[in-house]
Amino acid sequence: MTTSQTANTVIVLDFETTGLSPNQGDRAIEIGAVLIEQGEVVDRFQQLMNPGFRVSSFIERYTGITNNMLRTAPPCDEVMDQFADFIGDHNLVAHNASFDQRFLEAELDNIQRNYGGEFACSMLIARRLYPHAPNHKLGSLVEYKNIDNDGVFHRALADSEVTAKLWLLMLEDMDKRYQLSSPSFSLMQEVSRKAKAAVPGFLQRQAKC
């Protein structure tokens, strides 16, 4: 895939997992993702996957994904192979991206595949843009910004959908606040990397360019 093919696209993804750390043996149990092209969702991916062991009752309650649902799901390797094809080299976004990035890399490593694109974190950007939000959990930001949703949280596709809406809203707010014409993925990624105090000055310098 060429740079020009991915320049105006981004994939927003979310994993549901058996726990917090692939280094501790945790595995993905669901992946959801939406492809945004020119500000519109144009494709979706959602799939449960069987991690090969029973998930805890906490995860069943937290996600609503039960062991019975996972019993008939295809194995992680099969799903992740399909998902690797879906993401290609698109730039990726996730809420608290370091978490999803760890699981993506671990699951792709299991099938000897890798991801060669870039990640940006909607949570870090939201902390810069909305410092007065009650907190920066995904559900809280959805409520704080009045983002349309179906009331489903902690399921992969539902969380991806609202994270995508948050992402697009943050692009609009960057436009309005700093008069940046169509902030690029790389600019948003730069914002997510910069310390909170450095962001206003950085964006104002960008606006003058």
Partner DNA sequence: TGCCAGGCCCTCTTTAGGGCCTT
Residue number with CB closer to DNA (37 or 108):
108
- Minimum CB separation of residue 42 from DNA in Å reads 23
| Of residues 96 and 184, the one with the C-beta less far from DNA | 96
- Amino acid type, 142: V
Q: Name the residues that contact DNA, by CB under 7 A.
A: 14-17, 19-21, 23-24, 56-59, 61-63, 95-96, 98-99, 102, 123-124, 127, 135-139, 154, 159, 192-197
**Any bridge partners for residue 93, and if so which?**
12, 120
Rounded to 10 degrees, the C-alpha dihedral 9/41/101/90 comes to: -20
Q: How far is the CB of 8 from DNA (least distance, A)?
A: 25
DSSP sequence for 85-104: HHHTT-EEEETTHHHHHHHH
Q: How far is the CB of 208 from DNA (least distance, A)?
A: 23
Q: CB of residue 124 vs DNA: minimum separation in angstroms?
A: 5
Angstrom distance (rounded) from CA 140 to CA 134 = 7
One-letter identity of residue 108: L
CA distance 174 to 203: 9
Which of 37/69 has CB closer to DNA? Answer: 69
| Shortest Cβ 189–DNA spacing (Å) | 11
Whole-angstrom distance, CA of residue 117 vs CA of residue 168: 20
How many angstroms separate the CA atoms of 42 and 131, rounded? 31
Which residue, 40 or 109, is less far from DNA as judged by CB? 109
Residues 169 and 186: their CA atoms lie apart, in Å, by 17
- CB closer to DNA, 145 vs 154: 154
